[in-house]
């Protein structure tokens, strides 16, 4: 989908009550998301430039697909304001799904998007064309030494990226500065031994001052990127971190499932595919179908498609399916998602009797599937 000139166009799926007017419902939503008052009370100046417009309404089986349009200046280049225009008050109604968004150029131009994107991550890892492999440093509660050992183990085995579990923060058992120093050192040592280029991405969290301080420290210790949970720290804070830290950003979907009700929320492809990309996420972890999470196969494929589709001047985000990736099935997932994917291997990795050989086999598997 090419960006267009003009307004922000949002396709909502609205669940209709018996006898409810689809047009009336669509108009009420357009008002709710903007002027929040009946049309006859809106001053002339505001009516034309700020009220949401109903562009089209189609009715299907008890639902209406309503296309509304909004003036991009309502949101400006602030991702918090943008998600508020899409779903802020609408979230408190029932049966409102943000199904698809057509992004106008004027809005996209305000967002730098992923700084590295897929090509940049490939460069850092020295992996030009095969699917990438990711593992997690875990669990929370383990001391820094043990987490660092696990990082070293997967790095020596040939995993491309090792990221913290997103529950790791600054707990007393593995304080942030100590943990990041040890894990990064362990990965660098493994890289020297193998000639590999595994990246370690520590999890950063907190309000902005902590985010900045943690990112600064990670960078000074040699990390090329961090893991962040945009919905936990705030979408706009995540965006600024990506834009200003000089680090790559892998986004974690914590809390995102609150928005995934098929009848009320924000479609996963819009939230994780579009909005996380606008937040500058170089890679986006999503809860893969077939694992312990609830998204279906189509929803997962739509996330992958949106994260890599043409979108103004924004670099693509690397889709990172996780939560359902067993070693034996990686071939299947590559066929499904393509080579420009990073597979987040679950804790099944740590069950391998010989982790190094298991990963080497895996690398041979993914090498058969170059771009």
Tokens of 215: 């990112």
Nearest CA to 162 out of 132, 142, 192, 123 is that of: 132
Task: Give buried/exposed letters for 134-151 (b at 16+ CB in 10 A, else e).
Answer: bbbbbebebebebbbebb
Backbone φ/ψ region at 89: left (φ over 0), alpha (ψ -120 to 50), beta: alpha
Q: How far is the CB of 22 from its own copies (least distance, A)?
A: 17
- Side-chain-facing half-sphere of 337: CA atoms under 13 Å: 34
Site for its own copies in 96-135 (CB under 8 A): none
Nearer to its own copies, 130 or 277 (CB): 277
Check the CA dihedral 109-340-245-88 and report its sign: positive
Give the Cα separation of 208 and 184 in Å (integer): 23
**3-state DSSP assignment of residue 238:** helix
Secondary structure of residue 258 in the 3-state scheme: helix
- Select the residue interacting with its own copies from 15, 55, 80, 290 (CB under 8 A): 80
Binding positions for its own copies, 150-179, rule CB under 8 A? 165-167, 169-173
Residues touching its own copies: how many (CB under 8 A)? 87
**Residue 325 C-beta: closest distance to its own copies, Å:** 14
Supply φ then ψ for residue 203, to 5 degrees: -80, 130
User: Buried b / exposed e across 62-73, counting CB within 10 Å, b at 16+?
Assistant: ebbbbbbbbbbe
CA-CA distance, 87 to 235, in Å (whole number)?
Answer: 14
Cβ closest to its own copies, residue 115 vs residue 122: 115
In angstroms, what is the minimal distance from the CB of 127 to its own copies? Answer: 26
Query: Is 192 near its own copies (CB under 8 A)?
Result: no
What distance in Å separates the CA atoms of residue 208 and residue 241, rounded to the nearest whole number? 8
Q: Single out the residue of 63, 84, 191, 365 in contact with its own copies (rule: CB under 8 A).
A: 84
Residues 241-270 that bind its own copies (CB under 8 A): 253-261, 264-266
- Residue 293 interacts with its own copies (CB under 8 A): yes or no: yes
Among 60, 62, 193, 208, binds its own copies (CB under 8 A): 208
Nearer to its own copies, 167 or 331 (CB): 167
Stretch that binds its own copies, among 12-20, 109-117, 202-210, 335-343 (CB under 8 A): 202-210
| Closer CB to its own copies, 64 or 127, in the complex | 64
Q: Quick one: which of 239, 311, 330, 345 contacts its own copies (CB under 8 A)? A: 239
Q: Which is nearer to its own copies, 9 or 240 (CB)?
A: 240
Tell me the H-state helices in 126-249.
144-157, 176-194, 208-220, 230-233, 235-244
Contacts of its own copies in 310-349 (CB under 8 A): 323, 346-347
Asked if 306 is part of the footprint of its own copies (rule: CB under 8 A), the reply reads: no
Applying CB under 8 A, the span of 54-62, 75-83, 115-123, 363-371 interacting with its own copies comes to: 75-83
Identity of the residue, 125 or 286, whose beta carbon is nearer to its own copies in the bound complex: 286
Among 18, 19, 92, 335, binds its own copies (CB under 8 A): 92
Q: Which is nearer to its own copies, 131 or 280 (CB)?
A: 280
Look up tokens 């008052």; give the residue.
Answer: 37
Give the 3-state DSSP-derived string for 216-233, with helices as H, strands as E and coil as C. HHHHHCCCCEEEECHHHH
Question: Is 351 near its own copies (CB under 8 A)?
Answer: yes
Nearer to its own copies, 80 or 120 (CB): 80
């Amino acid at each position: 989908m090419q960006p267009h000139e003009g307004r922000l166009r949002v396709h909502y799926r609205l669940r209709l009550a018996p006898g409810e007017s689809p047009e009336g419902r669509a108009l009420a939503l357009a008002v709710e998301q903007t002027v929040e008052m009946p049309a006859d009370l809106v001053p002339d100046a505001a009516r034309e430039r700020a009220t949401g417009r109903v562009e089209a309404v189609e009715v299907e089986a008890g639902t209406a697909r309503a296309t509304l349009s909004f003036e991009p200046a309502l949101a400006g280049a602030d991702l918090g304001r943008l998600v508020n225009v899409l779903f802020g008050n609408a979230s408190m109604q029932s049966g409102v799904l943000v199904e698809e968004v057509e992004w106008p150029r004027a809005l996209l131009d305000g967002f730098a998007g992923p700084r590295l994107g897929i090509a940049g991550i490939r460069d850092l890892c020295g992996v030009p064309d095969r699917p990438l492999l990711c593992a997690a440093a875990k669990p929370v509660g383990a001391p820094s030494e043990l987490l660092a050992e696990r990082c070293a183990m997967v790095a020596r085995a040939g995993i491309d990226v090792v990221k913290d579990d997103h529950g790791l923060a600054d707990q007393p058992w593995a304080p942030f500065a100590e943990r990041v120093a040890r894990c990064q050192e362990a990965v660098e040592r493994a890289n020297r031994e193998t000639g590999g280029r595994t990246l370690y991405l520590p999890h950063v969290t907190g309000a902005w001052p902590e985010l900045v301080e943690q990112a600064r420290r990670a960078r000074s210790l040699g990390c090329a990127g961090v893991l962040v949970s945009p919905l936990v720290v705030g979408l706009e804070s995540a965006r600024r971190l990506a834009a200003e830290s000089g680090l790559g950003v892998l986004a974690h979907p914590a809390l995102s499932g609150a928005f995934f009700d098929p009848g009320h929320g924000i479609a996963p492809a819009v939230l994780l595919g579009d909005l996380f990309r606008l937040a500058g996420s170089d890679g986006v972890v999503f809860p893969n179908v077939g694992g312990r999470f609830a998204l279906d196969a189509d929803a997962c494929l739509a996330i992958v498609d949106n994260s890599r589709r043409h979108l103004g001047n924004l670099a693509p985000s690397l889709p990172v399916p996780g939560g359902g990736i067993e070693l034996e099935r990686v071939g299947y997932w590559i066929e499904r998602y393509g080579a420009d994917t990073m597979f987040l291997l679950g804790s099944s990795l740590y069950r391998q009797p010989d982790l190094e050989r298991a990963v080497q086999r895996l690398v041979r598997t993914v090498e058969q599937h170059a771009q």
